[in-house]
Amino acid sequence: MSDVCLILEGTYPYVTGGVSTCVYQLIKNTPQINYSIVYIGAGDEQFKEYRYPVPDNVKLIKEISLFDYDIKGEVKNLNMEFDNELLKRFYRSNRQERVKLFDEIYENIIQPHRKDFDPFDILQSKQAWDFLTMFYQQRFKDGDGPSFIDYFYTWRFTHYPLFKILTTDIPRAKVYHSLCTGYAGLLGAVANVKYSRPFILTEHGIYSHEREIEIYQADWIYNSEDDLQARRNLSVFKDWWIRLFHFMSEVSYDKAQTITTLFEGNREKQIRLGASEDKIQIIPNGIDYDSYAGLERRTSRDQLVISMVGRVVSIKDVKTFIKSLSVVKKKVSNLKVYIIGPYDEEPEYYDECRNLVSFYELEECIEFTGKVDVKDYYPQSDLLVLSSISEGQPMVILEAFAAGVPCVATDVGACSELILGRLEEDKAAGSAGKIVPFGKPEELGEAISELLLDQEKLKKMGEVAKKRASQYYREEKTIEAYEKLYQRYFSGL
């Protein structure tokens, strides 16, 4: 049995990013705690290589692939009985009532049949077909809904990963700690119900909100190329996915003993989404301040250098950043731009970004670096820019601040709090950059240009940034807070 089982979805140790960095930071700096990890990924192809070191106090890494099925189409008759009345009550209830029924569903339907409960069999069962037929006929009795075949396949696609999570073998641990809601949070809730062990939930960004953004932008939530009725009712399937992610978040909030988040804005959103106010504790991100503060800044000013640090993916809205540079280029001639981070996660989006660079004739000043050591780039940078449409509390801003680099960022997540200050005495020290609305390339470009062309202001903002990182966002404070939280639950077992 490990001390802490970390339940991770699409992060450490296989995917780079802020959450992954925080997980590695936590494990590395608590060598006295033994960890097991349950890693949840979309498919087996994600399990190819570690992107981070795995310290010796990680005793087990278990992988779960959510979408690894290959249904052949045959219908099976299951050799087990379910409580159909309970299932009907669950599916007919609203989201809040379903959350209350979660324990009952798990203990009366999933747990008794877990060893025989094969998600493949459920997806292909006559029982599932009959159950869905009844619900479809009741919901769309006026004939204005999507085709049943699209309805059925959407049910399969949404429910298979749920069945995988509900029936997985969870490693034994004293405490379970999920770093998001979603499937990871759902598994944390299952562990809490199954083993009666404490469950800690940490949210950097609001998971259900981020998935909602992706779903509204998605063009894959559709099955039939020819069914025009399904095209007219596309929102039915998007709404289905959105409600599913909100349900998983609410179950996670309900079953967690403690919920940690990064800043006040997140706390307020969690409360609105159903989290109990008295469970929530704010633990900001922290960085190894000295390792960034000690970087030697360049002194030459032959070029003005902008860096964007992050994965080249749609939620980072790199396209808006590139468009903003067409504004900057008209005002700043000696410009160099580094887009720093891996670009293999969304290859099509990366190609679109490259095409946009060509369209605006910015090839000479923009360089996509891929994955590199950011410490080689912060000392060269005059300004960090984030154009994201969703963030938690970006580690890259804190790193840049420690290196004395101010930031222009969109008004998402904790960016405003970081740049303008959180506490009154912090705000009084001044701003460490500028905040702009997301999705507004003209405004972003104007903000970047204003700072690059006022080196005195830029220097002062860099000093504020460095002081802010030193006073409020040191790694040791974050680690200490989580150690205290773990010890509180260890001592109560």
Using pLDDT thresholds of 50, 70 and 90, give the confidence band for residue 134: confident
Give the integer Cα–Cα distance in Å for 137 and 66: 29
Gyration radius of the chain over CA positions:
24
* Main-chain dihedrals φ then ψ at residue 174, nearest 5 degrees: -70, -40
Averaged pLDDT for residues 455-472: 96
Closest CA to 368 of 384, 376, 359, 357: 357
Cα torsion angle, 50, 316, 7, 162, sign: negative
Using pLDDT thresholds of 50, 70 and 90, give the confidence band for residue 481: very high
Averaged pLDDT for residues 247-275: 95
* Main-chain dihedrals φ then ψ at residue 92, nearest 5 degrees: -90, -10
Express each pLDDT in 22-47 by its tens digit. 999 999 999 999 999 999 998 777 77
* Plot region of 115 (φ>0 → left; ψ -120 to 50 → alpha; else → beta): alpha
Beta bridge partners of 304: 335
The confidence score (pLDDT) of residue 231 equals 42
The confidence score (pLDDT) of residue 460 equals 97
The confidence score (pLDDT) of residue 228 equals 36
Give the integer Cα–Cα distance in Å for 160 and 165: 9
* Cα 364 from chain centre: 33
Using pLDDT thresholds of 50, 70 and 90, give the confidence band for residue 432: very high
The confidence score (pLDDT) of residue 37 equals 98
Beta bridge partners of 177: 6, 200
Could you tell me what percent of the chain has a pLDDT over 70?
91
Closest CA to 106 of 165, 22, 182, 44: 165
Residue 127 has pLDDT above 80, yes or no: no
Asked if residues 229 and 143 have their Cβ atoms less than 8 Å apart, the reply is no
Closest CA to 398 of 469, 316, 475: 469
Could you tell me what percent of the chain has a pLDDT over 90?
64
Give the integer Cα–Cα distance in Å for 347 and 166: 32
Within 8 A by CB and 6+ apart from 268, the residues are none
Cα torsion angle, 77, 78, 81, 82, sign: negative
Instruction: Give the tokens for residue 101.
Output: 């029924």
Give the integer Cα–Cα distance in Å for 330 and 349: 26
Give the integer Cα–Cα distance in Å for 34 and 163: 29
Using pLDDT thresholds of 50, 70 and 90, give the confidence band for residue 225: very low
Going along the chain from its start, the domains and CATH numbers come out as 40-282 (no CATH), 289-473 (3.40.50.2000)
Closest CA to 191 of 202, 175, 206: 175
Supply the mean pLDDT for the chain.
89
Give the integer Cα–Cα distance in Å for 280 and 282: 7
Cis link prior to 284 (omega < 30° from 0)? no
Express each pLDDT in 76-101 by its tens digit. 676 667 777 888 888 888 878 889 99
The confidence score (pLDDT) of residue 85 equals 83
Express each pLDDT in 283-323 by its tens digit. 999 999 999 999 988 777 789 999 999 999 999 999 999 99
Q: DSSP of 167-206, one letter per residue?
A: HS-PPPEEEEEESSSHHHHHHHHHHHHHH---EEEEESS-
DSSP-derived 3-state class of residue 58: strand
Express each pLDDT in 142-197 by its tens digit. 777 788 888 888 888 888 899 889 988 999 999 999 999 999 999 999 999 999 99
Give the integer Cα–Cα distance in Å for 407 and 415: 9
The confidence score (pLDDT) of residue 392 equals 86
Which residue reads 């929530």 in tokens? Answer: 280
The confidence score (pLDDT) of residue 71 equals 61
Express each pLDDT in 313-368 by its tens digit. 999 999 999 999 999 999 998 999 999 999 998 999 999 999 999 999 999 999 99
**What angle, rounded to 10 degrees, do the helices at 234-255 and 182-195 form?**
40
Averaged pLDDT for residues 413-426: 92
More confident residue, 475 or 139: 475
Q: Which segment of 217-226, 256-265, 266-275, 340-349 scores lowest on mean pLDDT?
A: 217-226
Within 8 A by CB and 6+ apart from 307, the residues are 337, 338, 340, 377, 378, 380, 381, 383, 384, 385, 400, 405
Using pLDDT thresholds of 50, 70 and 90, give the confidence band for residue 135: confident
Using pLDDT thresholds of 50, 70 and 90, give the confidence band for residue 109: confident
Within 8 A by CB and 6+ apart from 29, the residues are 475, 476, 479
H/E/C letters for each residue in 77-139?
A: CCCCCCCHHHHHHHHHCCHHHHHHHHHHHHHHHHHHHHHHCCHHHHHCEHHHHHHHHHHHHHH
Which residue reads 């095209």 in tokens? Answer: 231
More confident residue, 441 or 87: 441
Instruction: Give the tokens for residue 396.
Output: 């890259």
Residue 229 has pLDDT above 50, yes or no: no
Q: What is the DSSP letter of 68?
A: -
Give the integer Cα–Cα distance in Å for 371 and 310: 9
Q: Cα torsion at 187, 188, 191, 193 (round to 10°)?
A: -100
Q: Which segment of 23-32, 133-142, 412-421 scores lowest on mean pLDDT?
A: 133-142
Amino acid 392 reads: G
Residue 230 has pLDDT above 50, yes or no: no
Residue 58 has pLDDT above 90, yes or no: yes
The confidence score (pLDDT) of residue 114 equals 62
Amino acid 477 reads: K
Give the integer Cα–Cα distance in Å for 493 and 489: 7
More confident residue, 61 or 129: 61
